């Protein structure tokens, strides 16, 4: 008896320690970034162009660039990813080929982001002649987050009970009507979760935008899809490693803004998801 109580305590302690080890670094990163970056956050920092070779002024073009890139990536990846997920989940026959396709999609999310960057350079910048532009960058980021969105959407679609589909079909509804009116509305929360994950990944990655869109120093706002643009992750890399004598608080301030931006995007998606969950009636 005593033995089992001791093992229970050891197990509990081990599990607690593992959880603590996960929470601790995240908390520390947050604390350090907020502590060091907060003094830099002023209205001017958020809305002004960078000045004096990025050692002063603001980061406005990088914020705008990141929002454009993430928006473009989602606009490209969400519809295509969702349609592909619907096809794979509802229409594709159960065959070896579909299994290989599904496996390939899952594995795509493990491809290093710099590979996507090179792919985007070859396909969009060079082959399609989009140049180093917001369009090329958005499409590259979009392709990078496609597997995340497809996988999450598929799981969301599969989690809708089969009996709902059967009931709908048994009332004489067509397959598409069943998907449109029963399956999709109940899968939206899960699909949005995938979108949130994709958003965060697209906003934070540096490598895919390195060759396809990012400008080193461009103190003006982009005016078309074919313009280059600054972006927060790349800007952070540049002022941390490429430009000497940048004030530490500007670097941490930039990191804080990037973090907050991702958080705000996630929050919006979480609120929408909560709205749909409230409407869900089972």
Partner 1 sequence: MVTFDIQKLSVWLGSTQALKNISMQVQAHEILTIIGPSNSGKTTFLRMLNRLNELGPRFRREGALLFDGTDIAALDAQIVRKKIGMVFALPLPLPLSIFDNVAYGARMHGVRNQKQLRAIVERSLQEAYLWDEVKDRLDTSAFKLSGGQQQRLCIARTLAVEPEVILFDEPCSGLDPISTAKVEDAMVKLKQRYTIVLVTNNVKQAARVGDRTAFFLSGELIELDKTDKMFTAPQYRRTEDYIRGKFG
- Applying CB under 8 A, the residues found at the interface with partner 1 are 94, 163-164, 166-174, 177, 181-182, 185-186, 280-282
User: Count of residues for the chain?
Assistant: 282
When the beta carbons of 101 and 221 are compared against partner 1, the nearer one is: 101
Nearest by Cα to 199 from 98, 99, 69, 37: 69
Whole-number Å distance between alpha carbons of 282 and 279: 9
Closest separation in Å from C-beta 162 to partner 1: 9
- Residue 224 corresponds to which tokens in the numbers above? 């078309």
When the beta carbons of 5 and 281 are compared against partner 1, the nearer one is: 281
Closest separation in Å from C-beta 9 to partner 1: 43
H/E element, 51: strand 50-51
Closest separation in Å from C-beta 187 to partner 1: 11
When the beta carbons of 145 and 182 are compared against partner 1, the nearer one is: 182
When the beta carbons of 100 and 167 are compared against partner 1, the nearer one is: 167
Closest separation in Å from C-beta 161 to partner 1: 9
CA dist 170 → 125, 160, 187 (Å): 51, 17, 21
Do residues 113 and 145 touch, judged by C-beta distance below 8 A? no
Closest separation in Å from C-beta 177 to partner 1: 5
Q: What share of the chain is helix, strand, coil (3-state, %, to 5)?
A: 75, 0, 20
Whole-number Å distance between alpha carbons of 32 and 27: 9
When the beta carbons of 188 and 250 are compared against partner 1, the nearer one is: 188
Whole-number Å distance between alpha carbons of 245 and 233: 19
Q: What is the CA radius of gyration of the chain?
A: 23
Closest separation in Å from C-beta 165 to partner 1: 8
When the beta carbons of 8 and 177 are compared against partner 1, the nearer one is: 177
């Amino acid at each position: 008896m005593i033995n089992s109580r001791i093992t229970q305590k050891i197990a509990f302690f081990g599990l607690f320690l593992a959880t603590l080890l996960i929470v601790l670094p995240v908390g520390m990163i947050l604390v350090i970034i907020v502590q060091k970056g907060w003094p830099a956050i002023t209205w001017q920092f958020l809305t002004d162009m960078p000045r004096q070779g990025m050692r002063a002024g603001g980061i406005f073009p990088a914020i705008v660039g990141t929002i454009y890139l993430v928006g473009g990536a989602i606009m490209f990846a969400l519809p295509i990813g969702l349609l592909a997920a619907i096809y794979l989940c509802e229409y594709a026959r159960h065959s070896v080929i579909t299994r290989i396709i599904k496996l390939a999609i899952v594995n795509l999310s493990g491809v290093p982001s710099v590979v996507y960057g090179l792919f985007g350079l070859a396909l969009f910048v060079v082959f399609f002649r989009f140049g180093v532009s917001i369009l090329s960058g958005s499409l590259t980021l979009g392709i990078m987050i496609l597997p995340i969105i497809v996988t999450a959407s598929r799981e969301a679609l599969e989690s809708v009970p089969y009996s709902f589909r059967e009931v709908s079909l048994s009332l004489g509804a067509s397959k598409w009507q069943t998907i449109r009116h029963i399956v999709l509305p109940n899968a939206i929360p899960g699909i949005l979760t995938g979108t949130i994950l994709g958003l965060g990944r697209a906003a934070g990655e540096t490598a895919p935008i390195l060759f396809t869109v990012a400008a080193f120093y461009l103190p003006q706002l982009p005016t078309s899809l074919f313009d280059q643009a600054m972006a927060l992750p790349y800007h952070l890399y540049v002022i941390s490693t490429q430009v000497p004598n940048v004030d530490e608080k500007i670097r941490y301030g930039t990191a804080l803004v990037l973090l907050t931006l991702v958080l705000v995007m996630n929050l919006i998606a979480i609120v929408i998801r909560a709205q749909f969950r409230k409407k869900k009636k089972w």
